[in-house]
A and B are shown apart, each in its own frame.
Chain A
Amino acid sequence: MSATTLPASLATTPSPAKWLRFDPDRTVHLSVGKVEIGQGIMTALAQIAAEELDVPLDTIRLLAGDTDLAPDEGSTTSSLSIEVGGASLRLVGAEVRARMIARLAQRLNCAPADITVADGAFLRAGVPTGQDYWSVAPEVDLVRPADGATAPKPIAEYRLVGRSAPRRDLPAKISGAAFIQDLVRPDLLHARMLRQPFRGARLAALDEAAIRRAAGGELRILRHGNFVALLSANETVAHRAAAAAPTHAQWENVRRLTPAQQEAAWLVGQPSDDREIGDPGPAAAGTVVEARYSRPYIAHASIGPSCALAENRDGHLSVWSHTQGVYPLRAALARVLDRRPETISVHHAQGAGCYGHNGADDAALDAAVVATLVPDRCIRVQWRREEEFGFEPLGSAMAISLRAVLDPAGKPIDWTAEIWSGSHVQRPAMGGNLLGHEALPVPAPDPRPTDPSEAAGGGGTRNAIPHYAIAARRVLHHLVPGAPVRTSALRGLGAVANVFALESFMDELAARAGVDPVTYRLSLLDGRPRAAGVIARAATMAGWVRRGPGGDGHGWGIGFAQYKNRSAYAAVVAEVEVEREVRLRRVWCAADAGLVVNPDGMRNQLEGGILQAASFTLKEQITFGETGVSSLDWETYPILRFSEVPEEIACDLIDAPEERALGVGECTLGPTAAAIGNAVAHALGVRIRDMPFTRERIAAVLLG
């Protein structure tokens, strides 16, 4: 393997010494750049390293996400932590093992092939040598870069990878302190923010006396341009001040929103950056079928609002954040604060699940700005619930028009997806702003919304190209830079709405052709055995043959996608009952993600994706008021509740150990949305093409 084909993480940090070391307490200390965001990745990475080294799993210690101590692996995004981070660790482990064995073989004057490893100890021709990693490590150069040429362990010899391992982080999380919110540092000063309503707004007046009265204790009001922080050693005081502050602040130059702008349809016809991908037109001749689908703006809606700590001591700024990427955050902070990156350390600390780019990085800047102005204290910024809903970057609304030309048998021979969407990634590294930057005396320039390239899996275009064998497939992408709210990466990006649309459309085409939806799909998957495999398996699991004619309020639907058209395959079957609202009864899922590292961890991610997508599909929509987001709590932004969880969820993992190991955090979202949509259409005999499928929308459809 040449250096150019190294996984990205290893190419950036080729020295094994940066990844692992052998500590005197007979542990292996791993340093990784991917971070835990609720997906269980630390457990899987520990399994991969322990497997490659042949050490017991409980000897692995992990440090994740630290600009002082861990490799730069960019951000923990896009279901790439197994594919890229795990693959890197595998090669590092193989390299370290080989160097250790080579050194011992030299010492014992034997061939490296004579030496094997068991539980971290070296054997020669099966006989213990009395040596182990810890005794040999001082004599081995782990600094010299790895070139990826050392062959990893054969999969047939795996004994940890492929077996379920319990989550390393779970015991602490059910016992007490475990999160960034729980960190305690000396000289703690609690901070809450008064947020600028939108970029460009100017603080015209602030009734500080009224805020102090509401705070009810010692309070410092820190103003810096339009950036306002409320500081107190007493958290309750700071919180009360922040809750009261918006009503005591007058802003000028506030943008106004209209209810129409909260709908995906508003995006259609707005000025846009347009591009066309896929096969060129003109379209083939035949019967033309068209339909338009949509998804509204949705929130990450993390259960734990964003939090960050920062302290500026002796010219060095230390920041603790639940960011998805400590190095990108450090670079962004350095730019905003006009400091050299070397004067900033960013340490990852776990937060609640983020599901993409939420307020974590913005809270880190808030804390860093305050710490810069108030040195020698530890500044702890805790966003309020209303703040998280009101100011986190949202998942963009999308309108998707699909057009198919059908052959005489009713199969598509030409497919066009036309998409209107805001950006799906506006991280600071991609033209977006850290929120607080827009309020500083020298504010951020207006963001320049872009979208991930097709090489990166696309944003609004993600999964817009059908995986099916269709002669011509193309996408017209309208990226609307003037979306009325800040949008960025939310689990699955455009794939959720695109798969919902395309798999709904597939069912509509199957119905026109008078063919069962599963049969119809399989007929378009010749030569795509892994895709056909998951569809067939999910149909079998569900007992699809029992599916009736529908129209009686009881429906079954299927949805399928290969995430990003190059990652994990997932097919989902949903069974619903629809009266006044949709009741999700059962869900079956088959997934093929290649080599499985932690089967139970994978099932957990698949189940989580299914339930979160059910929540998106049935319940979620951000609403706008005059000055901004108006769905600011769990009553106005309801998500799936315990009483709405299906009575059965079954996930089968297709065994494909010879295939590359892939992440599964995002692969079930689109298929689940589509399966529910198709099940509802089957139950009602009427198609709903707009998410979410609320009681009001069902009523509107039933009333015709």
Chain B
Amino acid sequence: MRIDFTVNGTAAQVAVDPTTPLLDVLRNELDLKGARYGCGLEQCGACMVLVDNEPVFACGREVGTIAGRHVATVESLAGHPLHQAFLDEQAGQCGYCLAGILISAKALLDRTPSPTRAEVVAALDKHLCRCGTQYRIIRAVERAAALLAHGEVR
């Protein structure tokens, strides 16, 4: 079946079984490797992408349901203050969880440009990080918010 949608602002067309997980389509049909397989159970967040600006577990979302919708992956965040903030805070160890976390952080900052710490934590709580980098990640999202507020996007 042919399915049309947009990914990172570009029209995409795939011919696959509509029950295929969006994650597999992004990674294998569209060669976008930023969304990662972690559990396939919507429990860890490594696969998070935006569908019409809402964070969605790509591992559990059938591609047939996104026809006509707008998907954004971490590859679309180049130049976003979140990138600079994560590098400034060195908010990563193995980094496997980060792509999904950046996506949820992006959705948070779009909705709530100056989040409280509690709001940052709530937005990220569906994500797991095994290396114990959460403290730095929280600070990085707060820093990104500050960069946005001050227009300090480098």
Contacts and interface: CB of A to CB of B under 8 A. Distances in A.
B49 interface: no
Interface stretch (B50-58, B64-72, B83-91, B146-154): B83-91
Bin the interface of chain A by size.
35 or more
B132 A640 contact: yes
Given A38-B95, A303-B128, A352-B130, A646 B87 contact: no
A57 to B, nearest CB: 15
Contacts of A38: 93-95, 131
A239 B40 contact: yes
B33 A176 contact: yes
B134 interface: yes
A244 to B, nearest CB: 13
Contact of B92 (A170, A612, A642): A170
B132 A175 contact: no
Contact of B32 (A37, A176, A304, A609): A176
Contact of A382 (B37, B46, B97, B99): B37
Nearest to B140: A174
Interface in B107-143: 117, 121-122, 124-125, 127-138
Contact of B86 (A174, A609, A615, A639): A174
B134 A169 contact: no
A350 B95 CA distance: 10
Nearest to A668: B132
Interface in A591-618: 600-601, 604-605, 607-612, 614-615
A610 B20 CA distance: 39
B128 A639 contact: yes
Contacts of A605: 93
A642 B127 contact: yes
> Main SS of chain A's interface residues?
loop
Contacts of B117: 647
B130 A175 contact: no
Contacts of A217: 17
A615 to B, nearest CB: 7
Given A174-B98, A182-B33, A608-B132, A642 B138 contact: yes
A167 interface: yes
A642 B41 CA distance: 19
A236 B24 contact: yes
B60 interface: no
Contacts of A643: 121-122, 125
Interface string B25-42: 001100111101111110
Given A38-B94, A352-B96, A176 B75 contact: yes
Nearest to A605: B93
Contact of A175 (B34, B36, B128): B34
A236 to B, nearest CB: 5
B13 interface: no
A303 B97 contact: yes
Contacts of B46: 303-304
B125 to A, nearest CB: 5
Contacts of B86: 170, 174
Contacts of B137: 642
Bin the interface of chain B by size.
35 or more
Interface in A121-171: 166-167, 169-171
A175 to B, nearest CB: 7
A301 B98 CA distance: 16
A309 to B, nearest CB: 14
Interface in A239-268: 239
Contacts of B131: 38, 353, 608, 612
B55 to A, nearest CB: 14
Contacts of B41: 385, 633-634
B93 A304 contact: no
A601 B93 CA distance: 9
Interface in A632-648: 633-635, 639-643, 645-647
A182 B136 CA distance: 25
A179 B38 contact: no
A607 B34 contact: no
Contact of B132 (A181, A351, A611): A611
Contacts of A633: 39, 41, 43
A355 interface: yes
A184 B41 CA distance: 24
B135 to A, nearest CB: 5
B7 interface: no
A176 B34 contact: yes
B82 to A, nearest CB: 8
B145 interface: no
Contacts of B12: none
Given A166-B87, A175-B74, A643-B122, A352 B127 contact: no
A514 interface: no
Interface in A31-52: 37-40
B38 A641 contact: no
A646 B117 CA distance: 12
A631 to B, nearest CB: 13
B3 interface: no
A173 interface: yes
A607 B136 contact: yes
Contacts of A639: 128, 130
B102 interface: yes
16 contacts: A166-B90, A174-B77, A174-B83, A175-B77, A175-B78, A181-B36, A236-B20, A301-B130, A302-B130, A303-B46, A351-B94, A612-B130, A634-B43, A639-B130, A645-B121, A645-B135
Interface of B: 16-17, 20-21, 24, 27-28, 31-34, 36-41, 43-44, 46, 73-75, 77-78, 83, 86-87, 90, 92-99, 102, 117, 121-122, 124-125, 127-138
The 3 lowest CB-CB distance pairs between A and B, nearest first, are: A611-B132, A38-B94, A173-B95
Interface of A: 37-40, 166-167, 169-171, 173-179, 181-182, 184, 216-217, 235-236, 239, 301-305, 350-353, 355, 382, 384-385, 600-601, 604-605, 607-612, 614-615, 633-635, 639-643, 645-647, 649
Given A176-B32, A611-B132, 14 more contacts: A38-B93, A173-B99, A174-B86, A175-B34, A177-B34, A179-B33, A301-B130, A303-B94, A304-B94, A352-B97, A385-B40, A601-B90, A607-B132, A608-B93
